[in-house]
Structure 1
Amino acid sequence: MKVALLSAALIGGQLVTPVSDRVPSLNVEALCRATVADDKANGVVLGQSLEKCMSDETDAQTQLVALWPANAGPVRDRCEAEVTSIADAQSYVDLLSCIQAAGLANPPRLAPLRGASKNRNAK
């Protein structure tokens, strides 16, 4: 009986996915809205629209879902901590950039994503 319970507990334990094994949930809409407003307030002529910002963030999140399981836990943890350290400045584009900078992600070459990245205006 004890062996059966232990086996069931071990099998059941393997079905639980730790939070760090999933791409974190970020509130990018608030950041995109703030980014667009900031660009307008600062007279940024080539600022992006809310729709484009959200599209970039969604594209980055989609890429992260595919890359996340293939990357080492410490890299994910470091990048997640870096991106989520400021509550109102969380961006999937920044999280994807961090994973790529670690040299562990080699996605196909796509159009560059700006989204609400803190580096969106850097060249």
Structure 2
Amino acid sequence: MKAALLVLPLLGQPAMTISDRVPVFNVEALCRDVSADDKASGLSLAQDAGECVRDETIAQQQLSSIWLTVPGPARDSCEGEAAAGGIESYVDLLTCLQMAGWANPTPPPKPPLRGASKMRNAKNELKNELKN
């Protein structure tokens, strides 16, 4: 993703790149869709939409505190990965940055963040297979 310049001449603020802000994802709609898909798929560990939004909000807050400490190319790469396939997840974005070594991992809250992560469903399916 190329960084575009946002100029705010009326406010007397210097130009800044768009990637200098945590991206804005519509997690409410996404979490409703993910929760409905989980339930329709019959997942025994289907996540409630409210829990998903809570997890995504926590991840967004953590991202806000570290975003400017991460180099632009790493932010752009992880943002692209977190938004792949039309699923925009702060949990995935934070996880990508942590795995790349740019975000200090923090102990996850109990229970761990699940949000709308694309990898969550794969993990749940594996757990279900192992139980059977």
TM over 0.5: yes
Q: Residues of 1 paired with 2:107 and 2:76: CA distance?
A: 25
Aligned position for 1:98: 96
More moved, 76-85 vs 61-70: 76-85
Residues 56-106 of structure 1 deviation map (CA, whole Å, 9 limit, x = unaligned): 00000000001101111110010111222333x110000111111101111
Once the two structures are TM-superposed, the CA of residue 17 in structure 1 deviates from its matched residue by 2.4
Q: Using a 3 Å threshold, how does the CA distance of structure 1 residues 32 and 20 change in structure 2: closer, same or farther?
A: same
Larger Rg: 1
Q: Map residues 12-91 of structure 1 onto 2, 5 A cutoff.
A: 15-87=14-86, 89-91=87-89
Return 5+ residue gaps in structure 1 as ranges: 1-8
Q: TM-score normalized by structure 1? A: 0.82
Number of positions where the alignment pairs a residue of Structure 1 with one of Structure 2: 111
Once the two structures are TM-superposed, the CA of residue 20 in structure 1 deviates from its matched residue by 0.6
Q: Residues of 2 paired with 1:104 and 1:84: CA distance?
A: 18
Please, what is the CA RMSD of the aligned residues? 1.7
Amino-acid identity (%): 54
Q: Residues of 2 paired with 1:42 and 1:117: CA distance?
A: 16
Return 5+ residue gaps in structure 2 as ranges: 1-8, 125-132
Q: Residues of 2 paired with 1:93 and 1:107: CA distance?
A: 12
Greater fraction of residues in strand: 2
Q: TM-score normalized by structure 2? A: 0.77
Higher relative contact order (CA 8 A, sep 6+): 1
